[in-house]
Chain A
Amino acid sequence: MAQQKIKKSSLALRSWKKLVRNKLAMLGVIVSTLMIFASIFANFITPYDPSKIDFTNMAKPPSWEHLMGTDKMGRDVFSQVLYGGRVSIYVSVVGAVLGSIIGMILGGLAGWFGGKIDLILVRTSEVFLTFPNMMLVLILVAFVGQGINNLIFIFFITGWMTPFRMVRNEFLSLREETYVEVCKAFGISNLSIIFRHILPNTTSPIMVATTINIANYILQEAALSFLGLGVPVTVPTWGNIMNAAKSIEVIRNYWWLWLFPGLVISVFVLAANFAGDGLRDVLDPRQ
């Protein structure tokens, strides 16, 4: 037992060392972690309340007082970006993790039992994949309405397919392995074999898929809120700040209102993608 534990930790250690050596991936991990912490501790970083309206400071360009300027109602853009990060990151992380969990469970069931369950689930995932993701999200918005929790719900409903397919394919090949036969011979129950003996083998591709999904959901939240269909406008999110840039007048005259939030979104997504790509290189034994 002790032997096994040492071996396990050394594998994790080796992967970690590999990740550290991958400079871009490390940069991605560091930048995204910093941004997450900056959002969590927003109230220590900025003295301004993101929703405080100040008519004496309307639409001011960036200055030392207001690093990213103020919007048309005098609200500080920098603190909006910090507080907005809380909601945007929360929504996409929770959505991606829930989507992966659903995908893993369904993928496990489909891959293990095969037959009709497999056929139905695979067909369903194909139908989901046929609809353009953005359309699917919009349809669901029309049906469940706007809001933070609604968005999380929509994200995990539309994001389970990739983890599902990964886990299912993994199961199809692992199902035939000798150790699974041994488990069966010992009379271990199906559910126990699925969740305790096969599923752990799929963790690494799932981690990669989840990271990439987080990046995608950040983009989707931004897009939806930009269109005015995501999180209600009263809550600051990265997309809601960009919403102002729907008018050509803002694009023309108030560049700080869209350039800074846009850059912040791009940098976070870039960092998450670097981290995801790095994780894939580290965890994929074929590389």
Chain B
Amino acid sequence: MLYYFIRKLLAIIPMLLLISLIVFVAIQFSPIDPINYLASPDMTANSPNLQALRQLLGLNDPIYIRYIRWLGNVLHGDFGYSIVDGSSISKLIAMKLPATFEISLAALIISTIFGIGIGILSAIKQNTIIDYLGRIIGVIGISIPQFFFGIILIQFFSIKLGWLPVGGRIELGYRTWWDHVPNMILPSLALGVSMTAALLRYARNSMLDVMTKDYIKTARSKGIPEWKVYIKHAFRNALGPTLVILAFRLPILIGGSVMIEAVFSWPGIGAIILQGVSSSDYPVIMMTTMMIATAMLIASFLVDLIMALLDPRIRFDR
């Protein structure tokens, strides 16, 4: 197990290096002067001699040295500065990340419970009304634009029924964490819909696949109660492939947050990226993306670990 763990961990490092290299090269090729994002704005404004500052920052060095130095800065948490308003990118990310993390996690929980739950139920009750409903939810969920679903939710729950706020993260008079749960509900639902559908379709298929296996027949013929066959024998084996898809589809959640944050005026990473793209703030875009890619890699690493815990065959497979 430890061997497996270390091997997986080591496999991430070249990916991270490659991603950082791409990010670095992309910023180099963008039409901006590197001095504007490497030095804080008051430093460039107060420096009488920009040429000397350039020398000091090492901008005249060969590109590979600059890359190594930049990577060192990034590892120390110095992500450079926004070229539009000069704010520190690490601070910007640290400030907005919790908001995105909040709705992504909520969406993940919603979609895992509903997606896997309905998918499994759909497979058990194959070709009944429950199954048809499940399949309809599954295909509509991947076909409806997320922002359109968000707008429908706003129109119905906020404007017509007046139950939930139309947007924003916290209302006035915010006191405890619970006070902002109402604001989270709609964005998380809208964000989770396509993930729910994807998981539902996959969980149904893999459950159906497992149900035809011989060990299910054996379990049944031993006289084990039907529900126990489903839960202990079928579900556990169907969960593996579904978890892989979960990890594989995590990017959908983060990508979707850009849109959902715009619809619900949610102040998260998506909003930063959007602003970055419309004002050509390349360092901001690239650094946020790099953070997200890193988070994705770590998440898939965690899923690998869970898979290995669930299925001993994976651990020993070299």
Contact = CB atoms under 8 A, between A and B. Distances in A.
Interface of A: 123, 126-127, 129-135, 138-139, 141-143, 215, 219, 222-223, 226-229, 242, 245-246, 248, 251-252, 255, 258, 262, 265-266, 269-270, 273-274, 277
Contacts of B280: 142
28 contacts: A123-B15, A130-B15, A132-B251, A132-B252, A134-B258, A135-B292, A138-B285, A139-B26, A141-B277, A142-B277, A142-B282, A143-B26, A215-B143, A226-B145, A226-B262, A227-B262, A227-B274, A229-B277, A242-B145, A245-B151, A251-B154, A251-B159, A262-B144, A262-B148, A266-B140, A266-B145, A266-B148, A277-B139
A229 B273 CA distance: 12
Contacts, number: 125
A223 B26 contact: no
A131 B151 contact: no
B296 interface: yes
Classify chain B's interface size.
35 or more
Nearest to A277: B139
Given A134-B258, A227-B259, A248-B154, A139 B289 contact: yes
A287 to B, nearest CB: 11
Given A135-B258, A245-B151, A248-B166, A130 B159 contact: no
A135 B148 contact: no
Contacts of A277: 139
Contacts of B15: 123, 126-127, 130
B60 interface: no
Interface of B is mostly: helix
Interface in B96-152: 139-140, 142-148, 151-152
A266 B143 contact: yes
A251 B151 contact: yes
B155 A255 contact: yes
A227 B258 contact: yes
B167 A143 contact: no
B262 A139 contact: no
A131 B292 contact: yes
Contacts of B18: 123, 127
Contacts of A123: 15, 18
Contacts of A255: 155
B286 interface: yes
B19 A127 contact: yes
A132 B254 contact: yes
Contacts of A142: 276-277, 280, 282, 285
Contact of A222 (B30, B145, B262): B145
Given A143-B30, A251-B155, A270-B139, A223 B147 contact: yes
A252 B53 CA distance: 54
A266 B146 CA distance: 10
A139 B22 CA distance: 12
Contacts of B262: 226-227, 246
